[in-house]
Amino acid sequence: MKERKGFLYYFVRNRNGMIGLIGVSIIVAIGLIGPIFIPKPDGYTADILIAPCAQHWLGTDNLGLDIFAELVWGARTSLYVSILAMLISGVIGIPLGLLCGYTRGWLSEVIDALIDIFMTLPMLPLMIIVAAIMGTSITNVALILGIFSWPQLARVTKNSTLKIREMPYIEAANCLGLSKPRILFKHVLLNASGPVFVDMTLVMASAVLTEASLSFLGLGDPTTWSWGTILKRAWGQNAVISSPNPWWWWLMPSLCIVVYVVCFNLLGTALNDCLNPKGRE
């Protein structure tokens, strides 16, 4: 209980952490609650390329669709992709990282070699190939991102485990005859939670960037709104270089991606600082 109060005490006083938490909370609220009140943009209207106004807060596109509604539904897609990718990478990467860092012998060497191989692969070209083979489903995109994101999380978990396994309380747990899973998940992982949490937030941020890239290249789900899909349509209609320039069409989704990534990075860094006693000094 004391430790929990200590974490909250330092986190509330971390300016970057509070900014990130507020930003993430707003994004989550928009993605989960927004689609309940804002209809999904579909069909054509006569309000083509209208600049931001009272009726259309963020303007409209070349089909007369409201940009604000597109961004709200795109936020839900971004949350779904980033959360699913983070869970998949965590389920694969964290156990492998714990085993690689805690055990000695051939198993550790095999896992370490597997991590090295995956981290040297050109991820984006491979994601493009796999996405083209599996099909343009938003769930498939999330699965691909999760499968290709686990090596970084495994490496962070492994490095933290290497330091923790030499601690006296781990030796005491071994002397008491505690099972290896209990030691790994209750004692090692709990104390390695800071760096692991940070990397999980980075996975969520990079998942949105990669999903936007795949959607921009035409490998996203055409039936689902996403920020990358909005940018693809704007670029395909030469909205970025046309004159007069409908800047609201391509600027707004770009800002959403930047804000999403920055907020999750700030939140992850603050969590690491508050969970790490050295970061509290």
Tell me the angle at which helices 123-134 and 138-164 cross, rounded to the nearest 10 degrees: 140
Count of domains for the chain: 1
Would 48 be classed as within a structural domain? yes
3-class secondary structure per residue, 188-240? HHHHCHHHHHHHHHHHHHHHHHHHHHHHHCCCCCCCCCCHHHHHHHHHHCCCC
Specify burial of residue 209 (Cβ count, 10 A radius: 0-12, 13-18, 19+).
middle
Residue 75 is part of which domain span? 30-259
Phi and psi (nearest 5°) for 24?
-65, -40
Digits of tens for pLDDT over the chain (281 positions)?
344 456 777 788 889 889 999 999 999 999 999 999 998 887 777 788 899 998 888 999 988 899 999 999 999 999 999 999 999 999 999 999 999 999 888 889 999 999 998 888 888 788 888 888 887 788 888 888 898 889 999 999 999 898 888 888 888 888 888 888 888 888 888 888 878 888 888 899 889 988 888 888 888 887 888 999 999 989 888 888 877 889 999 999 999 999 999 999 898 888 878 876 655 55
Q: Does any domain span residue 10?
A: no
In a domain, 173, yes or no: yes
Q: pTM (2 decimals)?
A: 0.86
Q: Does 4 map to a domain? A: no
Assign residue 68 the CATH number of its domain: 1.10.3720.10
Give the Cα separation of 124 and 191 in Å (integer). 33
Look at residue 223 and tell me if it is in a domain: yes
For 121, 149, 169, 193, the CA distances from 252, given in Å and listed in that order, are: 33, 27, 51, 35
Residue 113 lies in a domain: yes
Please check whether residue 164 lies inside any domain of the structure: yes
